[in-house]
Amino acid sequence: MSSFRVLIADKLHPFLLNELQKKGVQCVVNETISQNELIRQIHKYDGLVIRSRLTISKGVFDKADQLKFVARAGSGIENINIKEANLKEVLVISSPEANAPSVAEHALGLLLSLLNNIHTSSNEVKKAIWSRNSNWGTTLQGKTVGIIGYGHTGSAFSKLLTVFGCEILAYDKYKSNFGNQYVKEVSLNALQAKADIISVHLPLTDETKYYINNEFFDKLAKPCYLLNTSRGLIVSTKAINTALNQKKLIGVGLDVLEHEKSDFEKVLQLKSNSELSSLLNNKKSIITPHVAGWTHESFKLHSVVLYNKIKATLNL
């Protein structure tokens, strides 16, 4: 019988709990545990499973006397202090492959809606406005799509695009030799020089915060569409508004905003922030509430992926 104790500190599909218990792992589920209570209790556990609600800080690791792993259901691990995890020899696990197809499909949905004015024309029809001439679309076939960040979601997005007859360019600072018959590996400058559409698939780090800014837009060779389904703080809202006003951007599809709270459950100053308000009221923008990675299927798959990784970590 296993002597491992694991704290599941957020809402996850029951698959993970059920399978760990079958292996004899003692699991405690506390989906509402506070940050302070986590610090007080963490010394009891060999493993911790979270989403984005909690911050696994130095204070947590300082009290984590027997912790072997932190498992994050999702792709981003910016809420985990990786330096402290390494110092304490705690393995950090995540499940980016679980929701990559969902994020890719959402990004494609945003793109097709932007290109074909689906969101604006639908709202018009609901208001009894039947305007065909003002809602002509733009064909995706033949366009050049630039993907920034070629990890799980970036590569999943490229696979969906292959059937549309696009030219697909991809830039990743930390990867090379990933090009294939459908995707051409390029420099960032080359991508900015040619892309009709740019889709961002980056993790949030000190290096990528406000990666998409005024300087980035100034380097575009022609007006384009921008998609962001990664993290809100990677793209400056103010820079987007400027680029839209200067016609450097034709339209934007965002699933994330820089004004989100750290747990992604709310947006700060949704109505009072002038830059955000301007973006929300722009007909050339589509904004969804950070749901690209969450489908009914991915909700379970996160637990399946984490279970397999935890099982390997603990040699269950």
Task: From 94, 120, 143, give the residue that closes a domain.
Answer: 94
Its pTM stands at: 0.93
Q: What is the pLDDT of residues 132-156, one digit of tens each?
A: 999 999 999 999 999 999 999 999 9
Whether residues 19 and 110 share a domain: the answer is no
User: What are the tokens at 287?
Assistant: 């904004």
Whether residues 39 and 140 share a domain: the answer is no
Measured CA to CA in angstroms, residue 77 lies from 82, 84, 188 at distances of 8, 13, 25
Whether residues 164 and 82 share a domain: the answer is no
Q: Which one is catalytic: 260, 265, 275, 297?
A: 260
pLDDT, residue 264, reads 77
Whether residues 187 and 232 share a domain: the answer is yes
Whether residues 147 and 181 share a domain: the answer is yes
pLDDT, residue 207, reads 96
Q: How many domains does the chain have?
A: 2
Tell me, yes or no, whether 33 lies in a domain. yes
Would you say 141 and 168 are in contact if contact means Cβ atoms under 8 Å apart?
no
Range of the domain at 75: 5-94
Task: From 60, 94, 128, give the residue that closes a domain.
Answer: 94
Q: What is the pLDDT of residues 55-97, one digit of tens each?
A: 999 999 999 999 999 999 998 899 999 999 999 999 999 999 9
Whether residues 188 and 107 share a domain: the answer is yes
**DSSP 8-state symbol, 5:** E
Q: What is the pLDDT of residues 218-239, one digit of tens each?
A: 999 999 999 999 999 999 999 9
Q: How far apart are CA 131 and CA 134, in angstroms?
A: 6
Please state, as a whole number, how many other Cβ atoms lie within 10 Å of the Cβ of residue 310: 24
State the burial class of residue 142 (Cβ atoms within 10 Å of its Cβ: 0-12, 13-18, 19+). exposed
Whether residues 172 and 71 share a domain: the answer is no
Q: What is the pLDDT of residues 177-210, one digit of tens each?
A: 999 999 999 999 999 999 999 999 999 999 999 9
Q: Catalytic annotation on 231? A: yes
Whether residues 135 and 237 share a domain: the answer is yes
CATH number for position 55: 3.40.50.720
**DSSP 8-state symbol, 69:** E
Whether residues 252 and 208 share a domain: the answer is yes
Tell me, yes or no, whether 304 lies in a domain. no
Tell me, yes or no, whether 292 lies in a domain. no
Q: Which one is catalytic: 53, 78, 231, 258?
A: 231
Identify the H or E element spanning 49: strand 47-50
Whether residues 88 and 172 share a domain: the answer is no
Whether residues 102 and 222 share a domain: the answer is yes
Tell me, yes or no, whether 115 lies in a domain. yes
Whether residues 113 and 230 share a domain: the answer is yes
Where are the extended beta strands (E) located within 109-248? Answer: 144-148, 167-171, 183-185, 197-200, 224-228
Alpha-helical segments (H) within 45-93: 58-63, 82-87
Q: Catalytic annotation on 297? A: no
**CA torsion through residues 248, 253, 259, 262, sign:** negative
Q: How far apart are CA 269 and CA 119, in angstroms?
A: 24
Place of tokens 């960040």: 149
Q: How far apart are CA 121 and CA 22, in angstroms?
A: 52
pLDDT over 70, % of the chain: 97
**Which amino acid would we find at residue 278?**
S
Would you say 215 and 196 are in contact if contact means Cβ atoms under 8 Å apart?
no
